[in-house]
Amino acid sequence: MKKLLTLFTVFALSFVLVGCTGKANKDSNKEGATTTPTESPTGTDTSNDASQTTPTKEAVKDFTVDNIAVTYVKAPLNVPSIVENNKGFLGKGYAEYNLPIVYSDLTTGPEQTQALASGDIQFLNAVGATSVILSASNGADIKIISMYSRSPKAFVMFSKDDSIDSPEKLKGLTVAGPKGTILHELLISYLNTAGLSEKDINFVSMDIPSSQAALAGGSVDIALAAGPVAYNMKKDGFHVVTDGTGLVDATIVVATSNDFYKKNPELVKKFLDVQKETLQYIEDNYEEIIEITAAETELPADAVKEMYDMYDFNMEIKDSDIESMRKTTQFMLDNGMIENNVDIESLILDVK
């Protein structure tokens, strides 16, 4: 009996010790997880070391994604995106949830809104209001969570012929630029001032660098450009036909989907917190952010300073922004760019 009692005691103690060890290992695995560094389209580590830190208890929450995919659009001169990427604010912000950042190189409006609709991207960080309105008109789930920028002077129409100085003189010419963008809206708005429409010209859809090359090579008469490309074209002596002043407000916004917000409200709020942090850093470190932007865009610092003054990066959605987007919606309806009207207020997400 004594031997049996001894064996039973040893067995019971072993069971308790194994159970405690297993629980300790399980807890350790849960709270000590790390993330694998993600890479941007250029091969740059975008996890920013902070995403490698031990996540807090918040990281055990159930989210519908295992990373945060966000567009990285540098042009025309998207200083907030450039600075955020350089300083790694998003990586640090989402580290507490153990969610790495994946930057997307999709830059055109249609590509971005399609990726959002498919769930491949969670945040469109700098997308034209025209693209958002077009997507919403087609029935897509897309919501505006903040403003990104306003910059009418940064969007420009160029020619090699300085005699092209009125919308009437565009009739019958070939114009190159990105379709469904603010630059496209600029073109049509300019034509409309003379009672003309896109039917009066030959419009060829190209990205900005291709449009510049086509104009330089003589295969098109007019090129639509913005940002560093526009700055360099001015310096190279191309004739400015017009910019966006009085024609477009050049409204750029930040967007996500309503479905993503409903399932992950905390992640959407975090994005806005990081946007605020980035804008505050820009305000407090002007000379540094000019250097960062100059290095990223390969522009002289003086050029960045000159262009920077054209932009308003205030993230607040103002009444004037809503009215501007209403006008853009009506403009798109009048010119057959959309078939269904869009209520701008219904596109704005009130993030709690």
The closest of 271, 311, 277, 331 to 129, measured between CA atoms, is: 331
- SS3 annotation, the chain: CHHHHHHHHHHHHHHHHHHHHHHHHHHHHHHCCCCCCCECCCCCECCCCHHHCCCCHHHHCCCCCCCEEEECCCCCCCHHHHHHHHHCHHHHHHHHHCCCEEEECCCCHHHHHHHHHHCCCCEEEEEEHHHHHHHHHCCCCCEEEEEEEECHHHEEEEECCCCCCCHHHHCCCEEEECCCCHHHHHHHHHHHCCCCCHHHCEEEECCHHHHHHHHHHCCCCEEEEEHHHHHHHHHCCCEEEEECCCCCCCEEEEEECHHHHHHCHHHHHHHHHHHHHHHHHHHHCHHHHHHHHHHHHCCCHHHHHHHHCCCECCCCCCHHHHHHHHHHHHHHHHCCCCCCCCCHHHHECCCC
Per-residue model confidence (pLDDT) at position 336: 86
pLDDT (mean) for 312-326:
96
Establish how many alpha carbons lie within 13 A of residue 77's alpha carbon, considering only the half-sphere containing its beta carbon. Answer: 33
Cis peptide before 152 (omega within 30 of 0): no
Domain with CATH 3.40.190.10 in the chain: 50-151+250-347, 153-243
CA–chain centroid gap for 173, Å, is 32
| Class of CATH domain 50-151+250-347 | alpha beta
First to last CA, the chain: 68
User: At what angle are helices 79-87 and 265-284 packed, to 10 degrees?
Assistant: 100
pLDDT in tens, 170-193: 999 999 998 878 899 899 999 999
**Alpha carbon of 108 to those of 111, 134, 176, 216, 336: distances in Å?**
5, 13, 15, 22, 20
Per-residue model confidence (pLDDT) at position 91: 97
Cα 90 from Cα 71, distance rounded (Å): 12
pLDDT in tens, 192-207: 999 999 999 999 999 9
> Residue 88 above 80 pLDDT?
yes
Residue labelled with tokens 């103002």 = 318
pLDDT in tens, 218-228: 999 999 999 88
Instruction: Provide the b/e sequence for 81-92 (b: ≥16 CB within 10 Å).
Output: bbbbbbbbbbbb
* pTM across the whole model: 0.77
pLDDT in tens, 17-63: 334 434 333 333 333 333 333 343 333 344 444 434 444 444 446 89
| Class of CATH domain 153-243 | alpha beta
